[in-house]
Amino acid sequence: MAHTVKDKTKLLARVRRIKGQAEAVERALEAEIGCSDVLMLVASMRGAINGLTSELMEEHIRHHVVDPAHEPDPNRARGASELIEVIRTYLK
Amino acid sequence: MAHTVKDKTKLLARVRRIKGQAEAVERALEAEIGCSDVLMLVASMRGAINGLTSELMEEHIRHHVVDPAHEPDPNRARGASELIEVIRTYLK
Amino acid sequence: MAHTVKDKTKLLARVRRIKGQAEAVERALEAEIGCSDVLMLVASMRGAINGLTSELMEEHIRHHVVDPAHEPDPNRARGASELIEVIRTYLK
Amino acid sequence: MAHTVKDKTKLLARVRRIKGQAEAVERALEAEIGCSDVLMLVASMRGAINGLTSELMEEHIRHHVVDPAHEPDPNRARGASELIEVIRTYLK
């Protein structure tokens, strides 16, 4: 992955947030707080993982397949742009 | 949550495994390994979260709604048992 | 399933909407409209299936496990109510 | 979408199967069979929709972005091939 520093910082922030959420779930289980509260924390973590997945797929498309912003072939640029849009819809 | 010690140990092991997976994703991003390898690590983490969710929902049903193993009303016992089965199917 | 007439009507309306969406996807494929438009139709269909699943699980809990509105045991009523809330969060 | 006849036939078969599954769910609701059996039918339909989504995304990548089988740039060919693999993992 030869991503920009900005992209890498953003992705690392996302994954550290997920690690923090896993720690919160761990503490919640140890403190024996209610099941349904633990499940709500796990649901947020799942949402954060979908966000990270979507971001990583988008990065992969831009850096290793076709970057819509710099592609000279307009059909490919449009195809890649539509694909990114579809992935965002599926993982939001 | 007033779960048995055994249940709690199992749930904590699951969530610690997820924390370990988040750390592996963090290291992979820092080491700039390929995007698609990072995405495969994230996919495993998502699978582990589905497993934890299914286990927590099952615990919640057994401890706070109806425990099929100890419910005297056979209709409720069957209803709870079917619900657990359905949740496992959806989250596997 | 011994649901009320009202519940059954609502569930049938949901499943008929999904059938209509499948027919729209079929026509879109036959007419060779763009892939990404077909994918957006399929994403809506997936959302409708999550809605149907959530509704069916809720019905199952109310009719075959514990109905929070009529349960005399307050702990069970609360447990069932929290479970319905969690399922809605996971399937929205 | 300017797909091959073979691809179109395969996609149409998938969407018609989903329509058939929606009809089976409709009949099951009308016949008032058990909730949990209806939920299992809906779970199969959801699996079929994931399969259709994965197939459509793969088609979109091959026809409108980069086809790994015919791409002269080896980095792009590999990037597209990895992306298809990742999408299959996520939607299986």
**How does pLDDT run across B52-89, given as a tens digit for each residue?**
999 999 999 999 999 999 999 999 999 999 999 999 99
Residue B1: per-residue pLDDT: 47
At C43, which CATH number? 1.20.58.1000
- For A20, A56, A59, A62, the CA distances from A7, given in Å and listed in that order, are 20, 10, 8, 11
Is D27's pLDDT higher than 50? yes
Lowest mean pLDDT among B43-47, C20-24, C31-35: C31-35
Write the pLDDT tens digit of every residue in C68-89: 999 999 999 999 999 999 999 9
Any A CB within 8 A of C90 CB:
yes
Reading chain A (92 residues) residue by residue, the pLDDT tens digits are 456 778 889 999 999 999 999 999 999 999 988 889 999 999 999 999 999 999 999 999 999 999 999 999 999 999 999 999 999 999 98
Q: Given B1, B30, B52, which is nearest A33 (Cβ)?
A: B1
Q: Closest CB to B80: pick one of C57, C65, C75.
A: C65
Question: What is the number of structural domains in chain B?
Answer: 1
Please tell me the predicted confidence (pLDDT) of residue C3. 63
- Which of B41, B46, B86, B88 is best to mutate for the D interface (most D CBs within 10 A)? B86
- Reduced 3-state DSSP string for chain D: CCCCHHHHHHHHHHHHHHHHHHHHHHHHHHCCCCHHHHHHHHHHHHHHHHHHHHHHHHHHHHHHHCCCCCCCCHHHHHHHHHHHHHHHHHHC
Q: Which domain holds residue C46?
A: 5-91
Residue A1: predicted pLDDT: 47
Task: Based on DSSP, count helices (H) and strands (E) in chain A, helices before strands.
Answer: 3, 0
Q: Cβ separation of C76 and B66 shorter than 8 Å? A: yes
Quick check: A90 and C43 CB within 8 A? yes
Which ipTM was obtained for this model?
A: 0.90
**pLDDT value of position A6:** 81
Buried b (16+ CB within 10 A) or exposed e, C32-44: eeebbebbbbbbe
- Give C 20-59 residues with CB within 8 A of chain A: 34-36, 39-40, 43, 46
pTM of the model: 0.92
Distance from CA of C31 to the nearest CA of B (A): 33
D34-92, pLDDT tens digit by residue?
A: 889 999 999 999 999 999 999 999 999 999 999 999 999 999 999 999 999 999 999 98
Residue B6 has pLDDT above 90, yes or no: no
Is the predicted pLDDT of residue B2 greater than 90, yes or no?
A: no
Instruction: Residue A63: list chain D partners with CB under 8 A.
Output: 79
The CA distance from B34 to the nearest CA of chain A, in Å, is 5
Identify the residue whose tokens are 């009308």: D30
* Mean pLDDT computed over B32-37: 88
Q: How confident is the model at residue C42 (pLDDT cuts 50, 70, 90)?
A: very high
